[in-house]
Amino acid sequence: MTIAATDRVLSVTLRIARFTPKPERAGRRRGGSPFGSKSPFGGSDAGARSNRVRGKRWTQDYVVSAHASDSVLDCLLAVKREQDPSLAFRYSCGHGMCGSDAVAINGTPTLLCTAKVRDWAKPDAPEYANEDGFRPTGEPLDSSDRAIDLDALAPGTPLVIELAALPGFPTRRDLIADIDPMLDQIRRLKPYLQASGDLKTTPNGKVDAFEYLQNPDQLKRYELLSNCIACGVCEGSCPVYAGGEAFVGPAAMILSSRFLNDSRDGAGAERLAALMAPDGSAACQSVRACSMHCPKGIDVGEELWQTIQKVDAAKAALK
Amino acid sequence: MGRRRPRPHPTAPKAMVRACATIEGMSPKQLEKHYDAVIVGAGAAGLSASLGLLRSKAFDRMRQEGRSPKILVLSKLQPLRSHTGSAEGGIAASLGNVEHDDWHWHLYDTIKGSDWLADQDMAAILAENAPATVIGLEHDGVAFSRTGDGHIAQRLFGGHTAEFGRQPVHRTAYAADRIGHQILHSLWQQCVKEGVEFAEEWYVSDLVVERDGDGMGHARGLVVLDTHTGKVHGIEASNIMLATGGAGRLFHTTSNSWDLTGDGMALALEAGLQLEDIEFVQFHPTGLAHTGILLSEAARGEGGRLLNADGEHFMDRYAPGHGDLAARDVVSRSIMAEVDAGRGVADPKDPDGPRDCVWLDLRALGRDVLEERLPEVCETVRQYAGLDPAEDLIPIKPTAHYTMGGIPINADGNVYEWADGERRPIEGLYAAGECSCVSVHGANRLGANSLLDACLFGTRAGAALAARIEAAQPHDDGADDASPAVADAADARRHIIETLLKPSSPAGSDSAGDGASDASDDNAYRLMADLGALMERHAAVRCDHDGLAEALGAIERTLTPRGDRLVAHSDTAAYNQEVTAILEVRHLLTVAQAMLAASDARHESRGALFRRDFPERDDEGFLAHSMTDARHAVSWQPVVITDYPPKSRAY
């Protein structure tokens, strides 16, 4: 059964947590570096500013008409074209490869372009709550369970999708979050191949293969990890990461794990040592929320657990 | 859990902070008054150039002498978002890991694929240096798929043959179907290692080229918009390299990301320079219907077949012996011919819609092979069409994929202009990748040659930049030799952006009545969609003079004036995407006109350009590169032919 047969046009409200930064006064402009004391863009007080930008926050509803199989990104692009060109959200490739468009949909971090209306629209009614009066926020793992049964809904039931910027990071404007902290943390863990440089040679010393040899089984040990697109969904899902510097974060650790598992890499000991720092593997609390919506299907929590065990073993060996 | 876990420490450990002291933050801590080189774009070409520069012997020597050249890489995107990451199929090189291969065969295939419009000296550089380029990428960390004995695996790909066209050859190195992702991330990772300084989400609005007394061009600098603050900066630079990618967003149905708006090409045109062979746009035959999202050519390389509404495997009729693996333009035109003949199918998502698709049949591959070799293709089909490739036929349609033409460059990436029958270099201006045209793709690019072009000629351009920086006197920041041209251009742009944010009077109010409301209702996103539809109607896959003239007229009379009247709907400058979009759509309009003018000037059909009114190739008249400027003046530069005289391009 394909979905095309059941595809239908729905009227959906996009409920968006909006934010417009307050125009900056001269001498208090924001630079890109949160640490830089000498900013080319403003005065010497740059280091003192808070990470929380001042500005106007409000919630805005847009009603769109969408196919059940359309992506939430399709809906937002229609809003930009037809209703409000000032709405800000990052997007680029539109098919889950570039990693630009991680946001919170109904409170859950995921990508706009891979999220389908049919999977995320929910009845828009104040009574949509359980008997204790709590509105459900988390979403079940299986997307077919998450999808509402369109046939079971009373005709005319209003539908809503709630959108907010990726949690765990400062919001800059509307759905745009500042993920620089994640990229800085990724950079700290030396996220590049550190190979010995030795090539396979013949018995008389001639180079026999110019590439570093790696058999398919060795490739398999890190191939999935190397598919990480650094979108930040795992970071936004992590309750420890929220808040920043205390935990280097699942994305940086996944990239470190990628190289730990790459047979070509010779810096394993240093990588494990770097993860022994207090913000490294010890900060992970194995909540495993990071696994829930990885767009590349990486079981982030399990991979981190594997790496943590390696770090612990290396630590024990040091004693 | 039995393991004891220390509480998270409230601050980052000091050792880690120290380790990254040089590369903290995503924007330059301090914008220099003058740069030795500014590289625009952080995809395969821009990153390759950065590495080519930093790893060159010239750069080493400068470091040893205590010189520290100031180099900045600008990107309108965040790191790792560049469209390189979407490339699926592979990168071609005659490594011979699977079967015997020879770079001369790769050269011949590239030339034949180009319909003999490639410059053969440049194509020879491409083919001969391809193996070293791929090995270099492997050393940089790319997770290539492997043969059983651990070598880089290679697959079949359309147009790649052994023995000068005799039979298909396994030449294309790949990483499942994510080669672009692997290359983009590995190059960025190496740039992190080298400490490359990036300015992210900075948009270049102007390229400043000055003419000397002899009329020779000299690159002086750039005007950039920091989209985080909305602030405009003039940046002076001795050397500038453009690596901004293609212009797929000229068309409604495109595999390109939303950011491929031809910025570098438009910057060159607006600076008074020309574009080479800009009429040649490759339409990838297998765009997933009505999304334009690409289904990799690997789908056909692994055995996928195209079927028309009658279930006929029609490619054997159009390209006997090559069938579904014929060159992309041949397959795209064959699909359009089937659709025109009434043998197209409708997208199942829109069963009453136009029958403008054909089927891609992957069912014979079986679920296991599909999941192992084409995981991204399967995922895309499931996600965006709701179909199961192991069970269902997949609707596909040609999608704008690659601009063969672009900013003319020589073998070192130096931009030149064609004037009075000779190449005149623009001092200090470089380009590489899809925005450029070194002319290895000619009228049609072979699959798996684009990443190769971007990495190989990007690296060469980087090395050329290093040599130029080394040869020049170190720039004296104290000297007051700055050209006022950059500051003037920055002032002008600052004024334009202030006007976009706070129009002094309602825009368009001079055209009484409908004007005012039109201007404030209109927006860049709608204009981009209208331009895409117009270009698709008149210039996609096939065209003729009447259609091209109509499109050009519509742009001049309607779309460009609309672009000029656009204003932003929010006056907050920080992260104002609409301001960027207005500049982008103006860039698109500039490139579209050059493309239409060049298409109209070429009275023949060659490679990806099919003129209904001139259906044959004409080597007497048009074995030449079109050189088109912003005034639509087209001149012709002869093709460099060394070893392979033109033959018919039969597949």
Cα(B258)–Cα(A98) distance, rounded to whole angstroms?
A: 11
B contacts of A8 (beta carbons < 8 Å): none
**Strand residues in B498-579 grouped as ranges (E):** none
Does the domain at residues A179-318 carry the CATH identifier 1.10.1060.10? yes
Residues 128-167 of A with CB under 8 A from B: none
Q: Tell me what pLDDT residue B541 has.
A: 94
Q: Tell me what pLDDT residue B509 has.
A: 39
Cα(B432)–Cα(B41) distance, rounded to whole angstroms?
A: 10
Please tell me if residue A252 touches chain B, with a CB cutoff of 8 Å.
no
Among A19-28, B99-108, B565-574, B605-614, which stretch is predicted with the lowest mean pLDDT? A19-28
The string of pLDDT tens digits covering residues B137-165 is 999 999 999 999 999 999 998 889 999 99
Pick left, alpha or beta for residue A220 (phi over 0 → left; psi -120 to 50 → alpha; otherwise beta): alpha
Return the CATH number of the domain spanning residue range A3-173. Answer: 3.10.20.30
> What is the DSSP code string of B10-70?
SS--HHHHHHTGGG-SSS-SS--SEESEEEE--SHHHHHHHHHHHTSHHHHHHHHTT----
Contact between B577 and A216 using a beta-carbon 8 Å cutoff: no
Contact between B141 and A262 using a beta-carbon 8 Å cutoff: yes
A contacts of B24 (beta carbons < 8 Å): 33, 35-36, 184
User: Nearest residue of A to residue B97 by CA position?
Assistant: A209
Residue B37 neighbours by CB under 8 Å, 6+ apart: B53, B69, B70, B71, B72, B237, B238, B239, B240, B241, B465, B469
The string of pLDDT tens digits covering residues B366-415 is 999 999 889 889 988 988 888 899 999 999 999 999 999 999 999 999 99
Helix (H) or strand (E) holding B300: helix B298-301
Q: Is the dihedral of CA B582, B181, A164, A167 positive or negative?
A: negative
Please tell me if residue A310 touches chain B, with a CB cutoff of 8 Å.
no
| Domain formed by B282-399, architecture | Alpha-Beta Complex (3.90)
- B271 or A69, which is more confident: B271
For the cut 90, the answer to whether the pLDDT of residue A200 exceeds it is: no
Residues 5-64 of A with CB under 8 A from B: 7, 20-21, 23-24, 29-36, 38-41
Q: Is the dihedral of CA B184, B187, B192, B196 positive or negative?
A: negative
| Residue of A32, A69, A212 with shortest CB distance to B26 | A32
Residue B453 neighbours by CB under 8 Å, 6+ apart: B126, B433, B434, B438, B440, B441
For the cut 50, the answer to whether the pLDDT of residue B38 exceeds it is: yes
Q: Tell me what pLDDT residue B517 has.
A: 43
Please tell me if residue B94 touches chain A, with a CB cutoff of 8 Å.
no
Cα(A266)–Cα(A270) distance, rounded to whole angstroms?
A: 9
Mutate: best of B1, B11, B26, B263, partner A, most A CBs <10 A: B26
Burial (CB < 10 A; 0-12, 13-18, 19+), residue B270, is middle
Across the A:B interface, residue pairs with CB atoms under 8 Å apart total: 250
Cα(A217)–Cα(A251) distance, rounded to whole angstroms?
A: 24
> Residue A147's pLDDT band (boundaries 50, 70, 90)?
low
A contacts of B532 (beta carbons < 8 Å): none
Please tell me if residue B371 touches chain A, with a CB cutoff of 8 Å.
no
Please tell me if residue B18 touches chain A, with a CB cutoff of 8 Å.
no
Contact between B16 and A188 using a beta-carbon 8 Å cutoff: yes
A235, HSE (Cβ side, Cα atoms, 13 Å): 33
Cα(A213)–Cα(A193) distance, rounded to whole angstroms?
A: 14
For the cut 70, the answer to whether the pLDDT of residue A131 exceeds it is: no
Contact between B192 and A192 using a beta-carbon 8 Å cutoff: yes
For the cut 50, the answer to whether the pLDDT of residue A47 exceeds it is: no
Pick left, alpha or beta for residue B262 (phi over 0 → left; psi -120 to 50 → alpha; otherwise beta): left
Mutate: best of A182, A187, A200, A312, partner B, most B CBs <10 A: A187
Contact between A24 and B574 using a beta-carbon 8 Å cutoff: yes
> Residue B467's pLDDT band (boundaries 50, 70, 90)?
very high
Contact between B176 and A223 using a beta-carbon 8 Å cutoff: yes
Q: Give how far B332 is from chain A: nearest CA, Å.
A: 22
Amino acid identity at B34: H
For the cut 60, the answer to whether the pLDDT of residue B198 exceeds it is: yes
Residue B352 neighbours by CB under 8 Å, 6+ apart: B346
> Residue A137's pLDDT band (boundaries 50, 70, 90)?
low
Interface pTM (ipTM) of the complex?
Answer: 0.90
Residues B470, B71: contact at Cβ < 8 Å?
Answer: no
Residues B26, A186: contact at Cβ < 8 Å?
Answer: no
Give A48's DSSP letter: G
For the cut 70, the answer to whether the pLDDT of residue A201 exceeds it is: yes
Q: Is B328 a known active-site residue? A: yes
User: Nearest residue of A to residue B575 by CA position?
Assistant: A173
Q: Tell me what pLDDT residue A197 has.
A: 78
For the cut 90, the answer to whether the pLDDT of residue A279 exceeds it is: yes
Mutate: best of B1, B4, B9, partner A, most A CBs <10 A: B9
Q: Give how far B338 is from chain A: nearest CA, Å.
A: 24
Of B27, B36, B142, nearest to B93 by C-alpha is: B142
For residue B495 the two structure tokens come to 């004024």
Contact between A172 and B348 using a beta-carbon 8 Å cutoff: no
Of A223, A258, A254, A222, nearest to A238 by C-alpha is: A254
Contact between B83 and A183 using a beta-carbon 8 Å cutoff: no
Contact between A192 and B193 using a beta-carbon 8 Å cutoff: yes
Domain ranges of chain B: 282-399, 505-630
Domain ranges of chain A: 3-173, 179-318
For residue B500 the two structure tokens come to 């976009």
User: Nearest residue of A to residue B27 by CA position?
Assistant: A32
User: Nearest residue of A to residue B200 by CA position?
Assistant: A32
A contacts of B181 (beta carbons < 8 Å): 97, 227, 229
CB atoms near residue A37 (< 10 Å): 11
- Buried b / exposed e along B559-570 (16+ C-beta atoms within 10 A): bbebbebbbbeb
What does the pLDDT average to over A130-153? 60
Of B646, B642, B602, nearest to B625 by C-alpha is: B602
Q: Which range in A147-151, A282-286, B268-272 is most confidently predicted, on average pLDDT?
A: B268-272
Does the domain at residues B505-630 carry the CATH identifier 3.40.50.970? no
Residue A46 neighbours by CB under 8 Å, 6+ apart: A29, A30, A31, A36, A37, A38, A39
Among A26-35, A155-164, B348-357, B448-457, which stretch is predicted with the lowest mean pLDDT? A26-35
For the cut 60, the answer to whether the pLDDT of residue A174 exceeds it is: yes
> Residue A24's pLDDT band (boundaries 50, 70, 90)?
low
Contact between B26 and A180 using a beta-carbon 8 Å cutoff: yes
Residue whose tokens read 């919506």: A293
CB atoms near residue A298 (< 10 Å): 22
Residues A103, A164: contact at Cβ < 8 Å?
Answer: yes
Cα(B509)–Cα(B317) distance, rounded to whole angstroms?
A: 58
Distances B91 to A124, B280, B578 between C-alpha atoms, Å: 49, 21, 36
User: Nearest residue of B to residue A230 by CA position?
Assistant: B80
Q: What is the mean pLDDT of chain B?
A: 91
Of B243, B257, B336, B281, nearest to B592 by C-alpha is: B281
Q: What are phi and psi of A162, to 5 degrees?
A: -95, 135
Contact between B83 and A274 using a beta-carbon 8 Å cutoff: no
Contact between B27 and A172 using a beta-carbon 8 Å cutoff: no
Q: Give how far B273 is from chain A: nearest CA, Å.
A: 28
Q: Give how far B257 is from chain A: nearest CA, Å.
A: 4
Distances B206 to A174, B41, B227, B483, B583 between C-alpha atoms, Å: 28, 14, 15, 15, 10
The catalytic residue among B328, B343, B586, B606 is B328
For residue B534 the two structure tokens come to 């117009």
Pick left, alpha or beta for residue A40 (phi over 0 → left; psi -120 to 50 → alpha; otherwise beta): alpha
Question: Distance between terminal CA atoms of chain B?
Answer: 64
Contact between B229 and A85 using a beta-carbon 8 Å cutoff: no
